Amino acid sequence: MRPLASLLRRARLVVPVALLTVIGGATAAAASAATPKPAPFVWHPLALENGWKSTSTKSLTTGTPAWAVRGGVVYLRGAIKQTSAQGTDVFAQLPASAWPTHDLYLQVYTNVGVPGILFVGTDGELEAYDGNAAVFTSLAGVSYVTKTVKASNLALANGWQSSQSQYGTGNPAYSVSNGVVYLSGSMHTAGKSRLAFVLPKAARPSAGMYISVYTEDGTTGWLHIQSTGQVYANGPDATGYTALANVAFPVASTTWHNITLSSGWKSAAGLFPTAPPSYAVINGVVYLRGAIRQPASGSGLWAFLPAAARTTGDVADIEVETSNGTTGAVTVTKSLGLASSTPYGNARAFTSLAGVAYPPSS
């Protein structure tokens, strides 16, 4: 895995000597949990093309770029970079069994936390562009349902309309499968209300969530999903286009396990309508919820992760919402959880964990 020093460099802070001492000793027991080990995924390596290569090295283990499917849901892993000046945005082709029902435009983490775009076509074509995609594009935390999972259209409100006819991204819809809610499609409005729809009771989370999403022309927006089902689409360009793809969260009846925070990080649940930092493992996938903040100066290390919430070795960078609708990242390793943003103060003020989902083998 990546050395601790390089992982924490994003936070632009120095790790206290005392913290480094603790890492090597007593915290190992505190980081373990009695939760059963998730079932392994069967990963299929992506055949990278057009100058794209894996970013994984001995000192930065991002894992082999690959895809897997479980229960009708496709998952991606790894990270990529463009090595050719003549290369194109197209970096791989998925087989038919992993094709989405509609085109997907997703916002993902790229180098130094600048949001980039991942496009997944209905023919399986994968493209990475915008942000610092050529330097580093993370595929970790990306998932979407295939047509084998039944979807139900959402009843849009307050002038919000489907963007399917313009972009071929599908009508706004939801699916519930194996205790997890999946959103899909895209929408827009000429109105001023940010309340786009209300989720049915069976598709609501147990607490409020703030999730970063792709909006018009690749700008950043965020969904505020309330436990009562109201979903608000926010951001300067959200009314022009808001993607719902890659949004997944467990149903309200899910059993959650609290995460013990480190380095001065606190739960943000007392200031925002969200949950304490916690995790659940469903069908071999780790889900996070809640939000965190860091009132006093400290490192980006927010947790020594419980065993069930770790990766098996890869470093996974997953884009999340930070203060005032900006983007940052939650980085997950085989033992640590880290938070970052540019500037780092945005992550310290508020980092959402909601919507983060990854197989432990990511």
Q: Say which residue, 34 or 124, is predicted with more confidence.
A: 124
Residue with tokens 């780092």: 344
Residues 137-175 have pLDDT tens digits of 999 999 999 999 999 999 999 999 999 999 999 999 999
Residue 67 domain-assigned? yes
For the sheet containing 195-198, what is the strand order?
A: 161-162, 186-188, 242-243, 209-215, 219-225, 230-234, 195-198
Across the range 28-47, mean pLDDT stands at 65
Asked whether residue 121 falls in the same domain as residue 157, the answer is no
| pLDDT given for residue 362 in this prediction | 73
Question: Of 222, 250, 278, which residue sits at a domain end?
Answer: 250
- Backbone Cα Rg of the chain: 19
Alpha-carbon distance 204 to 163, whole Å?
A: 23
pTM for the predicted model, two decimal places: 0.89
CB 257, CB 263: distance < 8 Å: no
> How many independent structural domains does the chain possess?
3
**Beta-bridge mates of residue 249:** 181
Which CATH number is 75's domain given? Answer: 2.60.40
Residue 43 domain-assigned? no
Residues 56-93 have pLDDT tens digits of 998 889 999 999 999 999 999 999 999 999 999 999 99
Asked whether residue 164 falls in the same domain as residue 226, the answer is yes
State the distance between the two ends of the chain, measured CA to CA, in whole angstroms: 12
Give Dmax over CA atoms of the chain in angstroms.
Answer: 57
Tell me the H-state helices in 24-167. Answer: 27-31, 164-167
- pLDDT of residue 19 exceeding 50: no
How many beta carbons lie within 10 A of that of residue 331, not counting itself?
Answer: 24
Asked whether residue 257 falls in the same domain as residue 350, the answer is yes
Domain assignment of residue 63, given as a range: 48-145
